[in-house]
Structure 1
Amino acid sequence: MTDKLKLGLAILLLAAGVAGFYILSEHALVLRVLAVLAGVGMAIFVARFTSHGQQFFAFGKEAWVETKKVVWPTRKETFQTTGVVFLLVVVIAIFLWIVDASLMWAVKLLMGQGD
């Protein structure tokens, strides 16, 4: 029951931040954005202490740990892979252009409009 109350409070804080954006329509944009960010920040803070929030943040920590385990490609490998992808795109584009031109020629020939 307390989790539902906390989530309800978080939703109200989020709504208050958005409402603040519109209520402060006559003020500077920076102040309006800060009102939204304050509402979002307070909503996240309150939601953090619910069971769902704790599970979400634990998942985030685990995901961060797993990201550190990834072996990222070197700069050279990245450029080589990108070059292969670009080359393959060009080759496939030329192939599809040839197929399209051939089919267009065949259709014109069948319709009696060919040369």
Structure 2
Amino acid sequence: MNGESTGSITQRATRFLREVWIELQKVAWPSWDELKGSTAVVIIAVILISIFIGIVDFGLLRLVRIVLG
């Protein structure tokens, strides 16, 4: 085994959570305005893609009904 897996499960969990906290402090979190803008872009993209998939689905349904009579 390597040296990373030494210690009890409690010690390893504590070390892991400490390292997670340190990494979270390094993250460049978006501002409130950036977050709102990104959320709006995602919602609009989901709506547009849903409409496109709905149109394609409807068209394929009509095509299958024509082919199968």
TM-score computed with the length of structure 1 as normaliser: 0.51
TM-score computed with the length of structure 2 as normaliser: 0.82
Percent identity of the aligned residues? 38
Query: What 5-or-longer segments of structure 2 have no aligned partner?
Result: 1-6
Give the corresponding residue for 2:64.
107
Higher Cα Rg, which structure: 1
Question: Are 2:12 and 1:55 aligned?
Answer: yes
Q: Distance in 2 between matches of 1:101 and 1:93?
A: 12
CA RMSD of aligned residues (A): 1.3
Return structure 1 stretches of 4+ with deviation > 2 angstroms: none
How far 1:61 moved relative to its partner? Answer: 1.0
Query: What 5-or-longer segments of structure 1 have no aligned partner?
Result: 1-49
How far 1:109 moved relative to its partner? Answer: 1.1
Bigger RCO (CA 8 Å, 6+ sep): 1
